[in-house]
Structure formats: structure tokens, C-alpha cells
Chains A and B, each alone.
Chain A
Amino acid sequence: MNRVLVLGATSAIAQATCRLLAERGARLYLVARNRERLEAVSRDLQTRGAAELHTEVRDLDDVSFHEGIVQRAERALGGIDGVLLAHGVLGDQKECERSWHAAAKVLHTNFVGPASLLTHVANLLESKGAGTIVVISSVAGDRGRQSNYVYGASKGGLTTWLQGLRNRLAPAGVRVITVKPGFVDTPMTAHLPKNALFAKPDAIASGIMRAVALKRNVVYLPLIWWPIMTIVRAVPEFLFKRLKL
């Protein structure tokens, strides 16, 4: 991944991953909605060795810009060989239960928007016959739980979309990597009490770079979430519905 389009570039995981890319002299096209933060991130990555940096201030919830973003990134970088999609919201489950409007917003930001972006990205990379698409999904998408099913459904939908996309793009030589982090110590989880399962964004970032190097399809980060989610998925539904998870 040398010429990389980064969607949601000011997210903690994207920042940490971009630092590793910048240290390898990558060329980056960063998209985020807050100009000031995007500039701070861009200066940081420039200093850390990024060979080239472009920024676009954009709210990715607005799907009408998506095709243009991909085109502009391709032009600016002279081609795209990697995409990192890292934006998303956790939402407030209780509020989502009360208000469809709140739930719809979570679904839009975490699923509809990314699906739109991935459509344009996939078509471009498929036509070029190469590239790696890395998308931050979540362990929460592995099973619907009462405490978190709106976010979980948005990520579950995204995971399924990626599964299909991987299947579709494999013959074209385009790789799709689904990243499923557990709890990560980021602004998204700032309100949650921290426990031993919380990982640092740096750890997720190096896991992502490893997944890219090893050409993995689906990665749980940190690895401990693979056995945890295997168990969570294995509980039969008649039991699971009685659990308070």
C-alpha cells in the first residue's frame, strides 16, 4: 500500500495506521470532515515521512460526493493501490431504541455511506485489476445483542458487504480485508469504563499492517477477540436471547 485513500482520516485507528504508512514514505489522500483536525493530522504525517499528502474536507455522510472523492484521490495520487475506510459512529443504543431517526443515522454512517464509497472504490480497483481495501468493521457485527444491536447491525451489514465484495473482486486480484477490532481506547469509547480488554489504536494499526502484509481476509484485533467471538457466535439462540449481553 503506497498510494492510499484514507476515509475518516482523523479517527484514532486511521491516524495510528497512517503513521505507520507515513514512516514507509506512503502517499496519502486524507478525507475527514473537520478542517482543523485534518490539518493537524496532515502536518503530523508530513513530518513523519509521508512522501505526498492531499486532504479533502468532507462529511462522508453525504454520499453525493463519494464518486468525486474517489476520482480526485486517483488523480491526485496517480492511481490508488490501497484504501483504508475507518469512519464510523458508536451511537447511543437507548436513544436509537427511542428514535428511529437516531438509529437511521447510525445505519447511514456505518453502513450506507461505506457501502456507497466501497461501490466506487471497488469499480475503480476492479478495472485496474489490483489493490487492497481495508475496512474497519467490528466484533459487534458478529452477533446482535440487546445492548448494542443498532451499531452491531450496521457493522454486521458492512461485514457481509465486504464478504461479498471480497468474493466478487478476488478474480480481479483486488484484496478486501475486514478488520474487526474489539474495544479500542479511542474517542468513540471515551465514555466507557476501561478494562483489560481495551487495546490502544497503535496495536490495532500494527495488526492492520500485518494483515495487509500477510494478505489476510478477516482479522480480529487484538487476536483475543477471535476465540471470544467464536464462543459468542456458538451460543444457541434459545439460550442467547436470555443472556444480558
Chain B
Amino acid sequence: MGRGSRAPGHWRGGGAVLEPPRMSSHESWGHFPKVAAGDQGEVTLRWLPSRLPEPPHGERLLAHGLGRSYGDSCLNPGGSLLLTSGLDRFMAFDPATGLLSCEAGVTLDAILRLVVPQGWFLPVTPGTKYVTIGGAIANDVHGKNHHGAGTFGRHVRQLSLLRSDGRVHVCSPHRESELFAATVAGLGLTGLILSAELKLQRIQSQDVIQETVPFEDLDGFFAINRESVESWPFTVAWVDCVARGRRLGRGLYYRGRPAPPSMAPTRPARSHLTHAPLARVPFRLPSFSLNRLTVGAFNALYRWSNLRKPSPSRVHYDGYFYPLDGVLHWNRIYGSGGFLQFQCVVPHSDGGAVMRDLLGRIARSGQASFLTVLKTFGALQSPGLLSFPRPGVTLALDLRHRGASTLALFAELEGVVREAGGALYPAKDACMTPESFRAAYPALPRFEKHLDPAFSSAFWRRMTGAAPALP
């Protein structure tokens, strides 16, 4: 193991639960930024620890689940990762009340497999089920139902948090509520989340009724959205961000609602039955495979094929919520340079104008990619101090990392967002400036009181200039 450059040292703490530490090759989902080999340690957790492991040179710790954060919030070069995916045990589930408790490394996929047959569903789900519940809390993830259900953190009844003070803090909206508020959306910086209790959502069937409505420009999006958020719990739009000029902002609006019981249930994706993905990207594609032409062709094809599908239609939840999960390692299509995710939210007031500005700049740059998503957030407040979602319009897209030109585009977009009083999403970020972060997250001083000194991340150090090891 110790192929690293750092001197090996003796770890303490963790008791018998601690496995031998080793150098970590874990990356974030965007493959950017890179972590130099030997620069990041890791410890696999298989059982709930009663105290935190102590690295030899005071290196700081960071919980790391399935590594679906795009940028550097799940990385800790100069420190160590606590790998939580082995903390994958359920603790209790009451099918009468929909209360579920489990260890922090349990995945949303595992939860769905358990609870869907018993008539329950996740109250909030992001676009992938391959995240851990600890990660979902630490990033306070959101989904297509934000306007009606708020963020994931709103549905967490209680969590237990192991801190370097040697104690397990059981916190909830009513107990140690400030620590709870700091831990929800706390990016893993307040300690190690050990377990959580979640209130699930009742469903009548495993299906979703989905309607696809095309729109020709941004005004079209806002018109459909106004009418849809009133009566559809799930809304999201795909935007063809290659389209320019008059077509700027054209796309497809997807709205859905839980389906009533049916005599003829739909079939899930094959991947759901076999536990295997439908396809996988075996290696990182060469950088020329994604360009204006291929993305333009893909977008045209995507729009055409989705408009051919019957609408409304009854679809299995797997295909509705997690279309990308069918392709394992889809992030590899962006090649070895990785990619940047840009997700912002800007206030409703001039949301339309800001989106037009952002989409115009992206289309002109020629760096557009196919996964561009537009949605509005509702007014439901998250308990999390650093929660990203807030009332407004949110835009999310991938930018293949082509070097300086991509960073310049990102900085340009970031400037527009800051000007508009908006925010970027730390879970997806690798580039934003500390100034943007401070401006968008005014509760930061309150949050910082609850930081655990033994924890840190690359993201946090980039935002604050903190050191990777304890003094």
C-alpha cells in the first residue's frame, strides 16, 4: 500500500473497527480536480465506530460514500477519507408509518429495493440512486419535487453524528438543532454521520404518470412551468443548449405524478432486475468524441425520440427518476480531463433574463453538452444552513474540461450568477471563488461554529484557506 509520498505513521483510535489505512485512489464524479497519487489516505469503515480514527500526523478526515459529488467536496488530498459504503445496514423500518433508520452508507438504491414493494418511496430523490444516505444529507440533495417537498434534509427526522470530541451526537430539528442544521448540507465537515432516520413517502404503485411537453424557447418553459408546478409534483425540463438565437432555450418539459394502482404494472429497466447496468462506458473516451456536431446530433435525436413516445404515459420509477443509472460510469464519456458541472440557482424576479443570458453565453461558447436541466425551486425552507436550493430558477449542465477556455466560461457564468444574487451548488463545484461562496451562503458564520476540527475537504480549503492537517 504505502506507495504514497507521505511518511507512513501510526493511526490511533477507531478501536477494533479500524482496518489498515492505505493510500486512496478515490476520485470525484467529474474526474476533476485530480488528486496526486499518494496524497490522500483512506480507511474503510465496516462497522459503526465508537470513536474516530486518528491519523498519525493530524491529517484531517472526510467521509466519502459513493463519490458522486462532482467536484472537490468529496476529496481530501493531504488528509484521509473515511469510506462509508461498508456501513450499509438497515436498523429499522416500520411499514405502517414509513419511518426508516439505517447506517449512513446505505444507498438510495438499497432503500428503494426494500420499501417500494411495501408501498413507500423516497420523499426526495436526486437523479441517481447510487448515493448514500449520509451523502444525501451532507449535500442536502434535491429532486424533481422540490417545489412541493423541499430538500432531502426536510425529511430527516434524526441523525447521529460522531465528532472528534469523542461523543455520538444524536441530533434532530428539536434536539441539538443547531448542530442538526449545520450537518444537513454540511458537506461532511461537522463530523461523521453514522446513521439517520428518514420519513418516507406513501405510494400507490411503483409507477409514475409522465407527460412530455415540448417548448420552443425560454418563455415557453416559464409558461408551462407556471401551470405545471400547481398540479404536478415532479417537474423538470431538458434544454437543448446547442440551440441558439430564436431557438435559444428550446427543450422538453417533463412533468410527472405518482401513478394510481394498476392491474398491469410496468416493467422496470432490465438493470433493476439483474442488478446490472444496461450498458457501461468501459474506459474514458478520447476527448474528440464530444464536440459541437456530436452533441448537436445527439440533442436533435434525443428531442425527436422523446417526442415520439406516447404522452402521458405510465413508466416505472427507475426509468423516470434514474435514466442515467442505466449506463455505468457515464462520466467517462468526458474523457480523461474530466468535466465540470455548473449548477446555479437565481432568484425568480429576473430568472428569465438571467437564464437567457447564461444559455446565450453557453451556446456561443460552443462548449455545450447534452445534459442540461432547467427547473424552478419552491419556497419550502431547508433546515440546512448551507443548503443550496432556494426559491428561484436552477440550471444544471456538464462542461467537458477543455482547459483554460472551460475555466474562463465557468468564471463568466459564475459572474452572471453572482451579479444576479444567485448561488452555485458546492456538491457539484470545482471552480467557484470564495467570494461567490460567501455571498451566496450568508449563514456561513453560524455554520462555522459547528465545524469539527478533525474534518476538512478540498472544497472547504479552497473556500477558506484552511490547512489539510491539524496544527
Q: Which residues of A are interface residues toward B (Cβ below 8 A)?
A: 12, 36-37, 40-41, 43-44, 47-48, 187, 190-191, 193
Q: Mark B102-122 against chain A: 1 for CB-CB distance below 8 A, else 0.
A: 110000000000100000000
- A166 CB, min distance to chain B CBs, angstroms: 31
Q: Let me know if B91 is at the binding interface, CB within 8 A.
A: yes
Are A43's CB and B19's CB within 8 A?
A: no
CA distance in complex: A193, B48 (Å) = 24
- B40 CB, min distance to chain A CBs, angstroms: 16
| Nearest neighbor of B48 in chain A, beta-carbon distance | A40
Residue B93 contacts which of A37, A47, A187 (CB distance < 8 angstroms)? A47
- A23 CB, min distance to chain B CBs, angstroms: 9
Are B20's CB and A43's CB within 8 A?
A: no
Q: Given A47-B91, A47-B93: A40 and B47 within 8 A (CB)?
A: yes
Pairs A–B under 8 Å by Cβ, sample size 7: A37-B47, A40-B103, A47-B91, A47-B92, A47-B102, A187-B19, A193-B1
CA distance in complex: A131, B91 (Å) = 31
Residue B90 contacts which of A37, A43, A191 (CB distance < 8 angstroms)? A43
| Nearest neighbor of A192 in chain B, beta-carbon distance | B1
| CB neighbours of B90 from chain A (8 A) | 43-44, 47-48
| Nearest neighbor of B19 in chain A, beta-carbon distance | A190
| CB neighbours of A40 from chain B (8 A) | 47-48, 89, 91, 103
Are A44's CB and B91's CB within 8 A?
A: yes
Are A43's CB and B48's CB within 8 A?
A: no
Residues of B1-44 at the interface with A, using a CB-CB cut-off of 8 Å, are: 1, 19-20, 22, 44
- A9 CB, min distance to chain B CBs, angstroms: 13
Contacts A36-B47, A44-B90, A47-B93 known; list 7 others, CB within 8 Å: A37-B47, A40-B89, A43-B92, A47-B91, A190-B19, A190-B44, A193-B1
CA distance in complex: A237, B130 (Å) = 48
CA distance in complex: A107, B102 (Å) = 37
| Nearest neighbor of A41 in chain B, beta-carbon distance | B89
- B84 CB, min distance to chain A CBs, angstroms: 14
A-B pairs with lowest CB-CB distance, top 7: A47-B90, A44-B89, A190-B19, A191-B20, A47-B93, A44-B90, A43-B91
CA distance in complex: A48, B92 (Å) = 9
Residue B114 contacts which of A12, A43, A47, A193 (CB distance < 8 angstroms)? A47
Q: Let me know if B329 is at the binding interface, CB within 8 A.
A: no
| Nearest neighbor of A201 in chain B, beta-carbon distance | B86
Q: Let me know if B303 is at the binding interface, CB within 8 A.
A: no
CA distance in complex: A12, B1 (Å) = 22
Residues of B54-94 at the interface with A, using a CB-CB cut-off of 8 Å, are: 89-93
- A90 CB, min distance to chain B CBs, angstroms: 13
Q: How many residue pairs at the A-B interface have CB separations less than 8 Å?
A: 34
Q: Given A40-B89, A43-B90: A187 and B114 within 8 A (CB)?
A: no
Q: Let me know if B461 is at the binding interface, CB within 8 A.
A: no
CA distance in complex: A48, B110 (Å) = 10
| Nearest neighbor of A12 in chain B, beta-carbon distance | B46
| CB neighbours of A12 from chain B (8 A) | 46
CA distance in complex: A132, B290 (Å) = 54
| CB neighbours of B91 from chain A (8 A) | 40, 43-44, 47
| CB neighbours of A48 from chain B (8 A) | 90, 114
| CB neighbours of B47 from chain A (8 A) | 36-37, 40
| Nearest neighbor of B113 in chain A, beta-carbon distance | A23
CA distance in complex: A191, B23 (Å) = 11
CA distance in complex: A12, B48 (Å) = 15
| Nearest neighbor of B87 in chain A, beta-carbon distance | A40
CA distance in complex: A76, B317 (Å) = 40
CA distance in complex: A48, B1 (Å) = 36
Are A190's CB and B20's CB within 8 A?
A: yes
CA distance in complex: A191, B22 (Å) = 8
CA distance in complex: A191, B44 (Å) = 11
| CB neighbours of B1 from chain A (8 A) | 191, 193
CA distance in complex: A190, B92 (Å) = 29
Among A37, A41, A47, the most chain B Cβ lie within 10 Å of the Cβ of: A47
- B97 CB, min distance to chain A CBs, angstroms: 14
CA distance in complex: A236, B48 (Å) = 48
- B59 CB, min distance to chain A CBs, angstroms: 19
| CB neighbours of B20 from chain A (8 A) | 190-191
| CB neighbours of A193 from chain B (8 A) | 1, 22
| CB neighbours of B93 from chain A (8 A) | 47
- A49 CB, min distance to chain B CBs, angstroms: 8
Residue A43 contacts which of B22, B44, B46, B89 (CB distance < 8 angstroms)? B89
| Nearest neighbor of B94 in chain A, beta-carbon distance | A47
CA distance in complex: A140, B181 (Å) = 51
Among B44, B89, B91, B102, the most chain A Cβ lie within 10 Å of the Cβ of: B89
CA distance in complex: A171, B301 (Å) = 64
CA distance in complex: A43, B93 (Å) = 10
CA distance in complex: A193, B19 (Å) = 13
CA distance in complex: A187, B103 (Å) = 18
Residues of B176-201 at the interface with A, using a CB-CB cut-off of 8 Å, are: none
| CB neighbours of B44 from chain A (8 A) | 190
| Nearest neighbor of A190 in chain B, beta-carbon distance | B19
- B311 CB, min distance to chain A CBs, angstroms: 35
CA distance in complex: A44, B90 (Å) = 5
CA distance in complex: A133, B90 (Å) = 28
CA distance in complex: A40, B46 (Å) = 11
| CB neighbours of B92 from chain A (8 A) | 43, 47
- A198 CB, min distance to chain B CBs, angstroms: 13
| CB neighbours of B102 from chain A (8 A) | 47
| Nearest neighbor of B25 in chain A, beta-carbon distance | A194
Q: Mark B393-421 against chain A: 1 for CB-CB distance below 8 A, else 0.
A: 00000000000000000000000000000
